Amino acid sequence: MNMFSCAWLWMYAGAILMLMELVSPGFVIFFFGLSASTVGLCRFTFGEAFDATWQVAAFSAFSIVYLAVLRRWLKKLFSGKVSDSAVGFGNEYVGRIGTVKEAIKPPLSGRVEIGDAEWTAESVAALDVGAKVRVVAQHNLTLKVVAV
pLDDT tens, position by position, 42-97: 998 998 889 999 999 999 999 999 998 888 887 777 666 655 554 455 678 899 99
Q: Which of 28, 52, 79 is the last residue of a domain?
A: 79
67 and 111 fall within a common domain: no
Q: pLDDT band for 118, please (50, 70, 90 cuts).
A: very high
Asked if residue 41 has pLDDT above 70, the reply is: yes
pLDDT-above-90 percentage for the chain: 59
Tell me which residue range forms the domain holding 34.
Answer: 2-79
Asked if residue 143 has pLDDT above 90, the reply is: yes
For 12, other C-beta atoms within 10 Å of its C-beta total 13
Count CA within 13 A, CB hemisphere, residue 126: 2
Q: Which of 79, 111, 126 is the last residue of a domain?
A: 79
Question: How much is the pLDDT for 74?
Answer: 78
73 and 111 fall within a common domain: no
- The letter for the amino acid at 15 is A
Total domains, the chain? 2
Contact call for residues 39 and 51 (beta carbons, < 8 A)? no
